[in-house]
Amino acid sequence: MTLKNLLPLSVIFLDIQLTKSSYETEIIAFFWYNGNMSILTVSPFAEKKIKQGKQLLLAEDFPNIAENNQLIYLYSQSKEFLGTGYLSSQNKGIGWFLSPKKQKLTVTYFQGLFEKAKAKRQSYYDNDLTTAFRLFNQDGDDFGGLTIDLYGDYVLFSWYNAFVYSLKDVIVEAFQTVFPEVLGGYEKIRFKGLDFESDHLFGQESGDTFTILENGVTYEVFLNDGLMTGIFLDQHEVRDGLVNGLALGKSVLNMFSYTAAFSVAAAMGGAVETTSVDLAKRSRELSTAHFEANGFSMENHRLVVMDVFDYFKYAKKKGLSYDLIVIDPPSFARNKKRTFSANKDYHKLIAQSLDILSEHGTIIASTNAANMTVQQFKKQLRKGLGDVSADFVNLQQLPADFTVNPNDPTSNYLKVYTIKVNK
């Protein structure tokens, strides 16, 4: 794929047949391309969502529109100007609404966005115990398709679609003006079409691995090795709870552990032992690095490479039990044995956890499934608990550095319940 091939070169007319029963009349989506701008007339349904403050543009709101990776001016059927957005397919949606103004994506424009984003996160800059957090979060900071994370002296840009990627020179120039203290930057490509996933972007290069601080805990991270970094920053408040009392004196089981960050936080918080389970073989190496970075021997910290559902069976057969079980699965996963969907299957994880949970034990249940509401998630948890008495003592969602669009619940994708179970 080349960026030249992504840009439209001619006038485009698209007939759109609305599928909504309330809109039976054919609507014409009109594109006019004048070299740097397209004009799109939207359906009444899409107009309503935009006026509600939702920024993500979905395919079902614009039927039959092909990806064209272009900035657009949006108008209603009554010729009312709605604002500026862009079209570019990514893992969710086909583009983003950006501003109710006629906006050009200049260096000055991005500088303004970054200055506001930096000011929002001043409390994180003032915290000497944490050196890694999100600097810019898509529609929460008024520009969907882009996230920027700080890892110590380095930053990581994640490009979620081809259009935003085509703007990277402008974006990086603006960023370096607002964040001159950053020594170097890396990028990760989170859309299909390019032949690489991560790369050094500007400034100094970090080592292959280096350490950051979070809540006073040291974690080893890597920025130029595929799409992962060694830690999920959106969980730092959950890990903070483990560091500050929730894990004290407890045996902890961490399922879908990845690099065992929850386990390390629990160990720092006084857990007597931890067991971390993940199917990926590399999880053992990455997890050990976190423990060693904090001076822990592995004597009381077990790393198990195994399918989570198989481990539930194994632990039950062996009569093992745990005071605290952390469950943080991907929203969707498939291996040779089974397929897991958080929307459909999460209750199975809760039900099997009960078999190996100590009396009056605690479950931390987490999901990052944006298409699952808080109510739907809680329903899955209740289903898994069955007739067992339990108290839902705490609900955590995205931390403050992961700013969200308050007008769109899907923007606040993280949902974490702390559940005290009374067996």
The tens digit of pLDDT for each residue in 388-417 reads 999 999 999 999 999 999 999 999 999 999
Element (H, E) at 348: helix 342-354
CA 64/CA 66 separation, integer angstroms: 6
Q: Taken in order 189, 192, 193, 196, is the CA torsion positive or negative? A: positive
> What CATH number should be reported for the domain whose range is 232-422?
3.40.50.150
CA 285/CA 208 separation, integer angstroms: 14
Look at domain 107-208 and name its CATH class: alpha beta
* CATH 2.30.130.10 at 3-99, yes or no: yes
Global pTM?
0.90
Under 8 Å CB-to-CB from 276, ≥6 apart: which residues? 254, 257, 260, 262, 263, 283, 287, 301, 302, 303, 304
Element (H, E) at 356: none
CA 87/CA 71 separation, integer angstroms: 7
Residue spans per domain, the chain: 3-99, 107-208, 232-422
Residue 27 in this model has a pLDDT that exceeds 80: no
Q: What is the pLDDT of residues 131-189, one digit of tens each?
A: 999 999 999 999 999 999 999 999 999 999 999 999 999 999 999 999 999 999 999 99
Average pLDDT over residues 328-343: 83
CA 84/CA 101 separation, integer angstroms: 6
Amino acid identity at 368: N
Phi/psi-derived region of residue 410, left when phi > 0, alpha when psi is between -120 and 50, beta in every other case: alpha
Q: What are phi and psi of 215, to 5 degrees?
A: 55, 35
The reported pLDDT for the residue numbered 395 is: 98
Average pLDDT over residues 265-283: 96
**CB crowding 7-17: b at 16 or more within 10 Å, else e:** beeeebeeebe
